[in-house]
A = this chain, B = another copy of it.
Amino acid sequence: MSEISSLGEFGLIDHLTKDIKIVNASTLKGVGDDAAVLQYGPDSKTLITTDLLLENVHFDLTYVPLRHLGYKSAVVNFSDIYAMNGTPRQITVSLGISSRFTLEHIEELYAGIRLACEHYGVDLVGGDTSASHQGLVISITCLGEAPEDKIVYRNGAQHNDLVCVSGNLGAAYMGLQLLEREKVASAGMKDFQPDFQGREYILERQLKPEARRDVIENLAKAGIKPTAMMDVSDGLSSELIHICSQSNVGCRIYEDRIPIDYQTAVMAEEINMNLVTAALNGGEDYELLFTIPLAAYDAIARVPDVKVIGKIVPASEGCAMITRDNTEITLRAQGWNPLKGDSQQ
């Protein structure tokens, strides 16, 4: 008997799908990236991605409002489509609903999903609802499209490329720590009022993340097409290793270049957690991690909210971070245990 958890998610998906043969001409790219790529027309490609969210694995309704949960469930799928340099177009939503939920609850959830759809210009085109004996189950599939020459895979990073990341890292993870702390503090207390003042940003990063459509649009305006790209859902370290292994390259990133918000730093200090560990391995940032040709160095400097954090090196040099005191630390895919809460194609 083999333990599933010993494989990790990528390992499990690889294992289960490694010799699947593609039989349809319309399937250009199947399992193995943020989204599959399909060909239904001559000019643009169809992208598809899917996420399964389970109560008490991916979300805790003790502190996550249903409207926020709906919003986030949709946005994490859009993020996968943007991470292909595509545009999300349609989603389907399947729900498993246990008897403790009322119609008003499900309306709240849907309100969040619909708000996300409106905000990102996506159509909700179908779904499925079912009874569940065990809490809330949310499964969302998103279709998107992109012109063929615009699609960015995970395997295109080249030696000497620059490694870039949008926004900042670790904030969603620190938001989660804050919520967990207040949950413990409030246990058994009625009308407990948690104090979130001055921490609104990390809370919002956890409860209502946004997909980086703006970054995709700004890169296009700047004439930059990334050579490889992923969204950061499992932590920077894990995603970097994934891009490098898919592209058969290595990387060097610099600790002092990793973008971290002030509130993230304050919270990490408060709970005695190493800040860089949080930024490297905290999940659910939904920022974009991508590589660009060295020649785009000047152009990327003019793209708002994007930072160059390192460079691509030959595979033989491995994946490492250079610390502030110039030590080289090998990156490890600690991330989230994929079979303990990850959701990504």
Contact = CB atoms under 8 A, between A and B. Distances in A.
Interface stretch (A27-35, A214-222, A324-332): A27-35
A62 interface: no
A41 B54 CA distance: 35
Interface stretch (A94-102, A264-272, A284-292): A94-102
A340 B131 contact: yes
B36 A129 contact: no
A284 B166 CA distance: 48
Contact of A127 (B13, B46, B95): B13
Contacts of A46: 38, 40, 46, 143
Interface stretch (A15-23, A234-242, A244-252, A312-320): A15-23
Contacts of A54: 96, 130-134, 137
A52 B7 contact: no
Given A104-B1, A137-B52, A125 B38 contact: yes
A135 B22 CA distance: 31
A43 B41 CA distance: 8
Interface string A138-162: 0101010100000000000000000
A130 B234 CA distance: 13
A128 interface: yes
B2 A104 contact: yes
A45 to B, nearest CB: 8
B56 A126 contact: no
A129 B338 contact: yes
Nearest to A57: B131
Contacts of A27: 89-90, 123, 125
A343 interface: yes
Nearest to A51: B128
Given A2-B103, A133-B56, A125 B30 contact: yes
A139 to B, nearest CB: 4
B35 A102 contact: no
Interface in A73-104: 89-90, 92, 94-97, 101-104
A99 B288 CA distance: 32
A6 B63 CA distance: 28
Interface stretch (A106-114, A168-176, A203-211): A106-114
A12 to B, nearest CB: 6
A26 interface: yes
Nearest to A105: B4
A339 interface: yes
The interface centre, meaning the residue of A30, A40, A42 with most chain B CB atoms within 10 A of its CB, is A40
A16 B70 CA distance: 13
Contacts of A4: 97, 101-103, 106
25 contacts: A2-B102, A4-B97, A4-B101, A4-B106, A7-B103, A9-B129, A13-B127, A16-B106, A16-B110, A20-B123, A24-B121, A26-B90, A26-B145, A36-B90, A36-B125, A36-B126, A38-B89, A48-B126, A52-B95, A52-B129, A52-B139, A56-B133, A128-B345, A130-B343, A134-B134
